[in-house]
Amino acid sequence: MAHTLVVANWKMNPADAASAAQIAQGIVRRAKGRARIVICPPFIYMSVVAKAIGRSKHVFLGAQDAFAGKGAAHTGEVDVGMVKHAGAKYVIVGHSERRAAGETDETVREKLFAVLKAGVTAILCIGEKERDLHGGYFSDIKRELEHAVRGLPKKFLPKLVVAYEPVWAIGASSAMQSADVHETAIFIRRVANDIFGKTAAEKIRILYGGSVTKQNARDIVEQGNVDGLLVGRESLKANEFAELVNELGK
Ligand code: PGA
């Protein structure tokens, strides 16, 4: 794998454009380029963040979502063509907070295809709501992945990133143990191998997300054996986030 990928998911933050510009500038200035960073701000701040990123070689712009429908009559929606014009190279698809707000496996699939067909890298989020004692969570993860990529041509796989985010570890007080991240990443890889074949599935990058901090980032990447991280709360503090990224690949 060429580079470790760290995705900053700002969710519905910060409160204004000036703060968005400030955080993005801080990240660009302090992150040393050991990993590739993708900042995903709310749509309304994409242009100020694009400006703060400028021509950085290791920080890129992403969007938190993109609408998959066609035509112009969709009040309130933003499609992948629009975020691409704004400079986005990545789009998060199917985050658990969007699934909780009503996105189905089928909506997620439509969005995934729309993003990939536009030539943009998709960060597909999957993950169980809870870990039951009988391993039922494996079937939830499998269902979400299989449904999202059903019928997807292999040529799109280099632009597919799967972010494994156990829902119970998002916004929590601690992340999943790196040994469990490792086990789940192997499972996701195996499901992908069964669908696409080993050689093609190797091109998919797998990230972990859920309460990542600068203290646990390196352990999760190295012991969890993932290709990067998806970071929520900690990505809004420029200093902390840059330190988190700088911990990787030391
Ligand atoms: P968190 O959020 O890092 O604040 O747990 C992660 C996410 O929702 O992607």
What pLDDT score was predicted for residue 56? 96
| Residue 227 region by backbone torsions, left for phi larger than 0, else alpha for psi between -120 and 50, else beta | alpha
CA angle, 187 then 192 then 194, to 5° = 95
Which portions of the chain are predicted below pLDDT 70? Answer: 1-2, 250
- State how far the Cα of 1 lies from the Cα of 147, in Å rounded to an integer: 25
Residues within 6 Å of ligand 1 by CB: 9, 165, 170-171, 209-212, 230-233
Instruction: With beta carbons less than 8 A apart as the criterion, state whether 96 and 165 touch.
Output: yes
Which one-letter amino acid corresponds to residue 28? V
DSSP reduced 3-state for 134: coil
Alpha helices in the chain (DSSP H): 17-30, 46-53, 80-85, 96-100, 105-117, 137-149, 178-196, 198-201, 217-223, 238-247
Q: Please name the residue whose Cα sits nearest to atom 6 of ligand 1.
A: 232
What pLDDT score was predicted for residue 194? 98
Please provide the size of the chain in residues: 250
What pLDDT score was predicted for residue 13? 98
DSSP reduced 3-state for 154: helix
Q: Please name the residue whose Cα sits nearest to atom 7 of ligand 1.
A: 232
What pLDDT score was predicted for residue 10? 98
Instruction: With beta carbons less than 8 A apart as the criterion, state whether 171 and 133 touch.
Output: no
What pLDDT score was predicted for residue 4? 96
Q: How much distance in Å is there from the Cα of 151 to the middle of ligand 1?
A: 29
Structural domains in the chain plus CATH codes = 5-248 (3.20.20.70)
Q: How much distance in Å is there from the Cα of 182 to the middle of ligand 1?
A: 18
DSSP reduced 3-state for 15: coil
Q: How much distance in Å is there from the Cα of 140 to the middle of ligand 1?
A: 19
Closest CA to 106 of 141, 143, 132: 143
Helix, strand, coil % in the chain, rounded to nearest 5: 45, 15, 35
Q: Please name the residue whose Cα sits nearest to atom 1 of ligand 1.
A: 232
Please state the φ and ψ torsions of residue 21, each to the nearest 5 degrees.
-60, -40
Instruction: With beta carbons less than 8 A apart as the criterion, state whether 220 and 175 touch.
Output: yes
Which residues are marked as active site?
Answer: 95, 165
